[in-house]
Amino acid sequence: MSNSMIIGQYVPGESFVHRLDPRSKIAIIFFFVLIVFFANSVMSYGLLALFAIGAAASSKVPLPYIMKGLKPVWFLIIFTFLLHLIVTKEGDVLYNLWGWKIYEEGLVQGAAISLRFFLLILVTSLLTLTTTPIEITDAIEELLGPLKKIRFPVHELALMMSISLRFIPTLMQETEKISKAQASRGVDFRTGSFKDRIKAVIPLLVPLFVSAFKRAEELAMAMEARGYRGGEGRTKLRELSISKLDYYLYALFILLIIGLFLTRS
């Protein structure tokens, strides 16, 4: 069903990247975003690109899916490149196109920064491509664990996330059903003036919200009836565990950091 795919872009698989612990993936991405800014030479960018493209390749996610994730940013990547090409006026003049001079520095800067941008988007989109939303939620709960000490409601947050994920397909169907019902009564969502379209949304939102409140009340009652009383002593169906694969990833990443600092200029 298309419904199960509605949130995120998860592509099922059995690859190295899929089998990593979601906590490791999030942590590595966090540090990757931090270290990308240290690259400043061809070699150091090369290393980062090797890591990112290697990770994408080993995830075995089909290329079209990866490209789909990058689609909204192609424009920005190209725009960045052109902006640097036009604005930067340092270094030697490489070409002279009818009075528009392209400077060496502009080309280098533009290429470096668009590449940085591309790598960041590639690595971060790999997380949602290879990890289910439920896994990410579990990982977030674990990673935020220390915040419990300052009375931040980590468990409640994670519970709300899993309830939301559970309800997204249901609410999706409901929205579809109500919009069809209202369309059959003559409500037009797609055309008309701005005012007409706002008016058309009200008969969709009212029943949608009313039924959402009803569902919430039923679920709250069911939870209470089964004795839900917060995070203390609650057990889990799926436990996260760090495996050998994760240690390989850490080792690889530490090598990347060392390599990065050796190749910086």
Partner 1 sequence: MRSKRILILVEVAIFSALALLLDVIPFLSFKLWAQGGSVSFAMVPVFLMAFRWGVKGGVATGLLLGFYQVLTGAYIITVLQTFLDYFVAFGVLGIAGIVSRPVWQAIKEEKKKAFVFWIFIGCLVGSVLRFIGHFAAGIIFYGSFAPEGQPVWLYSLLYNGGYMLPAFILSAIVISLLIVQRPKLLIR
Please report, as ranges, the residues that interact with partner 1 according to CB under 8 A. 6-9, 29-30, 33-34, 37, 69, 72-73, 75, 80, 83-84, 87-88, 109, 113-114, 116-117, 120-121, 124-125, 128, 133, 136, 140, 156-157, 159-161, 163-165, 167-168, 171-172, 175, 179, 189-190, 194, 197-199, 201-202, 204-206, 208-210, 212-213, 215-217, 219-220, 223-224, 228-229
Strand, coil or helix: 108? helix
Nearest approach in angstroms of CB 261 to partner 1 is: 19
- Residue with Cβ nearer partner 1 (61 or 243): 61
Q: Choose among 46, 40, 29: nearest CA to 126.
A: 29
Beta bridge partners of 93: 103
The nearer residue to partner 1, 133 or 259, going by C-beta atoms, is 133
Q: For residues 53 and 161, which CB has a smaller minimum distance to partner 1 in the complex?
A: 161
Which residues, other chains included, contact 56 with Cβ-Cβ below 8 Å and sequence gap of 6+? 66, 122, 126
- CA geometry: angle 128, 130, 135, nearest 5 deg: 75
**How far apart are CB 174 and partner 1 at their closest, in Å?**
9
Query: Which long-range CB contacts under 8 A does 204-209 form with residues at least 24 apart?
Result: 204/175, 204/178, 204/179, 207/178, 208/171, 208/174, 208/175, 208/178
CB of 202 or CB of 251, closer to partner 1: 202
Q: Taking the complex as a whole, how short is the minimal distance between the CB of residue 154 and partner 1, in angstroms?
A: 12
